[in-house]
Amino acid sequence: MLVDSEISQDFDMVIFGGTGDLALKKLLPALFYCELDKRLGDGRILCVSRTQLTRDDYVAQIKPALKDSLGEHYDSAAWQRFEDRLDYVLVDVTIAETFASLKALLAGSGTAQRPRIYYFAMAPGLFGVLANNLSEAGLVCDQCRVVLEKPLGHDLASSRAINDQIAGVFEERQVFRIDHYLGKETVQNLLALRFANSLFEPLWSASHIDHVQITVAEKIGVEGRWSYYDESGALRDMVQNHLLQLLCLVAMEPPASLDPDAVRDEKLKVLRALEPLTGDNSKNFTVRGQYRAGAIDGLPVPGYLEEDDSRDESIRETFVAIRTEINNWRWSGVPFYLRTGKRLPRRVSEIVIQFKEVPHWLFRADVGTRRGNQLIIRLQPDEGVQLSIQNKVPGAGPFKLKQAPLNLSFADAFEGRQPYAYERLLLDVIKGKSTLFMRRDEVDMAWTWIDGLLNAWADDPSKPKTYTSGSWGPSAAVALIERDGRTWNEESGD
């Protein structure tokens, strides 16, 4: 477990963008879950926006939203405690003079040792001016921490520009670059699976693993945010952060400890060893797709170019499939297949570790199919771990083999509620624990790799392959893996 059960007994968390979707749908529900578990101590939550609201207006606005979000977990006694720690401040982050009311409110904390968290839940283009105005208002201190939401830029240059602006105000130790995927229980369980079990780590290399698949699939489309999505696309929106972070946790060397820099040093080594996808590599080992009209759960849905506010000429990708390798001793020759997309048949995030077949098959061809073991780590939904093994079919008849799963469902194996990803990450920020957050050099290295692919795509006149909504993407994505004699996990029918 990476989060201590004991947390700071006092803190101030200031959420800039307090009336936005991120605050209302993710951050405040996560903090309310912490309230349910009585883990917020004497902390205060100050929500900041330029919307003309009183504190009572704001509280009245968020209460029904929290009740809807938490459902059966909503508790009126917990709400009373939560409401008592809430406040609302009117601030325009682009105007330094409006920070006076926030400064006055924070001055009531009474101690310079009280951790102060600034959560930038707004457009990254505002990060620099917000940081500078906090500094101008005298609101930056040694105990301050700043949480930055993705996306940090749209390429390496813009990412560096944002990080430079933040670095002009905050030290690196104070910066927490968040990726909510790293707060998921099953993602953190990767560390336990690999490094707390003697069964797996000796086999975790090219000697025993045939290939690795990482899939993050979404059923939804752009959800009314076409213009925003068209600026990023699947590669920037999902691969640059979520998928590359999962890849790093799967492939990294055992760190010397779970100290933040020890873990992040090993993740950085993986990013540096990734095979560049430039030139012919980009053409041979990547597939871009764009969804067209189809059906999801039996209901018709429009294509990407038919969504509200869409432009017919857009060639933005809504699907990406990638084959890459890691050029180091442990993984040489092992392909890593990454796949993500919108309007796919189901919402699923999973990591598939495909082990090699046994070196010699003792059984007749009619006994069963020769197949390697498969470890599936399900991140969402139905979090858990599944290991497929060859097993004799019970009975007194002919000897037959069938691959069957050993299934660990987190919901069945562990009592109680599974932690919300943001819940765990916010508690880590309060504690000052940065293991699950990205260091600046990690972000730079990830963008360097992504930029190589973006530049190659820019030089390629071909458009993304279209795929029908409700399918698993373009047929070229199937061909990408089948050229190697392998198949995507969904295609295998397992």
What phi and psi, each to the nearest 5 degrees, are found at residue 321? -125, 135
pLDDT for position 19: 92
The answer to whether the peptide bond before residue 151 is cis (omega within 30 degrees of 0) is yes
320 or 312: which leads in pLDDT? 320
- State the average pLDDT over residues 310-316: 93
Domains of the chain by start residue, with CATH: 12-177 (3.40.50.720), 182-492 (3.30.360.10)
- The highest-confidence range among 5-14, 101-110, 189-198, by mean pLDDT, is 189-198
The pLDDT of residue 417: 64
| Each residue's pLDDT tens digit, 91-109 | 999 999 999 999 998 886 6
- Kindly indicate the confidence band of residue 296, based on its pLDDT and cuts at 50, 70 and 90: very high
* Residue found under tokens 């040694």: 142
Tell me the average pLDDT across 388-409. 74
- Give 492's pLDDT tier (boundaries 50, 70, 90): very low
Give the lowest-confidence range in 116-120, 165-169, 384-388, 407-411: 407-411
The whole-number pLDDT of residue 1 equals 35
| Residue 65 CA, distance from chain mean position | 24
Measure the CA–CA gap between 189 and 377, rounded to whole angstroms. 9
| Separation between Cα atoms, residue 232 and residue 462, nearest integer Å | 18
Residue 466 CB coordination number (10 Å): 16
409 pLDDT above the threshold of 80: no
Give yes or no for a contact between 54 and 22, defined as CB atoms under 8 angstroms apart: no
The answer to whether 218 and 281 are in contact (CB under 8 A) is: no
Model pLDDT, residue 9: 61
Q: Which range is most confident: 190-199, 340-349, 370-379, 389-398?
A: 340-349
Question: What pLDDT does residue 364 have?
Answer: 67
- pLDDT tens for each residue of 434-478: 999 999 999 999 999 999 999 999 998 889 999 999 999 999 999
* Mean pLDDT along residues 51-71: 88
Backbone CA torsion sign across 413, 414, 416, 420: negative
Q: Mean of the pLDDT values across residues 367-372?
A: 72
Helix ranges (H only) for 374-474 are: 410-413, 421-431, 440-458
Task: List pLDDT tens digits, range 315-354.
Answer: 999 999 999 999 999 999 999 999 999 999 999 999 999 9
**SS percent in the chain: helix, strand, coil, step 5:** 40, 20, 40
Q: What is the mean pLDDT of the chain?
A: 89
What the block records as the tokens of 204 is: 């975790």
Q: How confident is the model at residue 188 (pLDDT cuts 50, 70, 90)?
A: confident
Q: Are 297 and 441 within 8 A, CB to CB?
A: no
Query: Using DSSP, how many helices (H) and how many strands (E) does the chain show?
Result: 17, 17
> 3-class DSSP state for residue 397?
coil
Cα 226 to Cα 231: distance, rounded to the nearest angstrom: 9
Nearest Cα to 125, choosing from 148, 147, 145? 148
Q: Give pLDDT, residue 234.
A: 96
Omega prior to 394 cis, within 30 of 0: no
Residue 31 neighbours by CB distance under 10 Å: 27
DSSP state of 337: E
Active site residues: 242
Q: Average pLDDT in the 157-163 region?
A: 96
Residue 110 pLDDT exceeds 60: no
Q: Which helix (H) or strand (E) holds 407?
A: strand 401-409
Amino acid identity of residue 205, one-letter, is: S
Question: pLDDT grade, residue 380 (50/70/90)?
Answer: confident
Copy the structure tokens of residue 453. Answer: 């692919």
Q: Tell me which of 35-39, 241-245, 425-429 is least confident.
A: 35-39
470: left (phi over 0), alpha (psi -120 to 50) or beta: left
- Quote the CA–CA distance of 11 and 15 in Å, as a whole number: 13
- Which percentage of the chain shows pLDDT scores above 70? 92
- How confident is the model at residue 5, as a pLDDT? 47
Measuring CA to CA, how many Å separate 304 from each of 467, 468, 472?
10, 10, 15
Indicate if the pLDDT at residue 400 is higher than 50: yes
pLDDT of residue 414: 63
Q: 439: buried, middle or exposed (CB in 10 Å: 19+, 13-18, 0-12)?
A: buried
More confident residue, 460 or 399: 460
Q: Choose among 230, 422, 247, 483: nearest CA to 342.
A: 230
Give the model's confidence band at 182: pLDDT under 50 very low, under 70 low, under 90 confident, else very high. confident
Sign of the CA dihedral running 16, 22, 26, 32:
positive
For residues 31-53, give the mean pLDDT.
Answer: 91
The pLDDT of 370-392, averaged and rounded, is 83
Contacts of 490 (CB under 8 A, 6+ apart): 215, 345, 472
What is the rounded distance in angstroms from the CA atom of residue 189 to the CA atom of residue 204?
A: 15
